[in-house]
Amino acid sequence: MKNIAWDDLHFFVAVGRTGSLSAAAAQLGSSAATVGRRMVALERAVGRPLFVRRQTGYELTSDGRTLLEKALLMENSAQSIRDWLKADGARSVVRISAGAGTANFLASNFGKLWNPDDPFRIAFKTTEAKLDIGHREVEIGIRNAQPEAANLASRRTVRIAQAPFRARNLAQAGSEEWVAIPPEDAMTRSARWVNAQPGLVVAAWANTTRTLHDLIRAGVGKGLLPCFVGDRDPLLERAGEPIEELSGHQWIVMHNDDRHRSDVRTVIDRIVALVNKHAALFAGERPLGD
């Protein structure tokens, strides 16, 4: 027996349902002669007669009825795939890699990045580690430095300021200890800066910026946060001025090929418009309550 192509079974199902070459041809957008030739070829491939050919039409044999049952199961499976492609499967996915603070800001303004009519969906990959854009782990990366790889493109956006924050109404403000990310987990320039300060007393360590933020909010100690994170939190207040040497620009990084995708371009343009609108917040020029 030869391999049977689904296309031949598709023709067979039409003949089996209608019992007529001409009716099947009309359904398939083909000719009766073509359908007839394909049925002969299918019978040769399976090595069994599938039809009793009468003047009134094509009647299925016992083997033909068995094959029709199995072919209908295949047709139903194929239809479910078509339905999936027509629905969510037809929508592309734009994956965004960002640190916890940036991901929180983007999620809080999600309506500015996506609407239900868009032909794509957004997937956040929240991590301080840099996912490999060059090998397509994500389509968009929010970074604090311009990429060096030749296959990556980038757009510079707003300036980011960093400042120490404490919980509001913390007792003995100004003398509290610090919370910090330990050297072995320090992936950001700000985390490394804190560890490099002489005589710094650490009350608690956190291996992620999200936990660091939570510890500061809980009043465990003061810690360094991007101003757009700390200044948006009503439970926090600044414990000092922004650290000028930690100030730097945010970069949107993408693969050279992916940047030409319409969905990726759309999301990038929307991110740029959103952060530009809040440039003063990112630059540390809008402390909460000012």
Domain ranges of the chain: 6-87, 91-157+250-274, 162-246
Work out the number of other CB atoms within 10 angstroms of the CB of residue 20: 17
- 285 to 30, 106, 279, 281: CA distances (angstroms): 70, 19, 9, 6
Q: Are 165 and 216 in contact (CB under 8 A)?
A: yes
The pLDDT value given to residue 286 = 76
Whole-prediction pTM? 0.67
CATH of domain 6-87: 1.10.10.10
In whole angstroms, give the CA distance from residue 67 to residue 78: 16
In whole angstroms, give the CA distance from residue 4 to residue 136: 37
Q: Closest Cα partner for 193 from 183, 184, 202, 201?
A: 183
Tell me which residue has tokens 């933020």. 213
CATH topology of domain 162-246: D-Maltodextrin-Binding Protein; domain 2 (3.40.190)
Tell me which residue has tokens 């109404």. 169
The pLDDT value given to residue 87 = 57
CATH of domain 91-157+250-274: 3.40.190.10
- pLDDT tens string for the chain (290 positions)? 456 777 788 899 999 999 999 999 998 888 999 999 999 989 988 889 999 998 888 999 999 999 998 888 887 777 666 665 665 556 789 999 998 899 999 999 999 999 999 999 999 988 766 667 877 788 999 998 888 888 899 999 999 999 999 998 775 555 579 999 999 888 888 999 999 999 889 999 999 899 999 999 999 999 999 999 999 999 999 999 999 999 999 999 998 888 889 999 999 999 999 999 999 999 999 765 44
Q: Do domains 91-157+250-274 and 162-246 have the same CATH topology?
A: yes
The pLDDT value given to residue 290 = 43
The pLDDT value given to residue 137 = 83
Q: Are 138 and 261 in contact (CB under 8 A)?
A: no
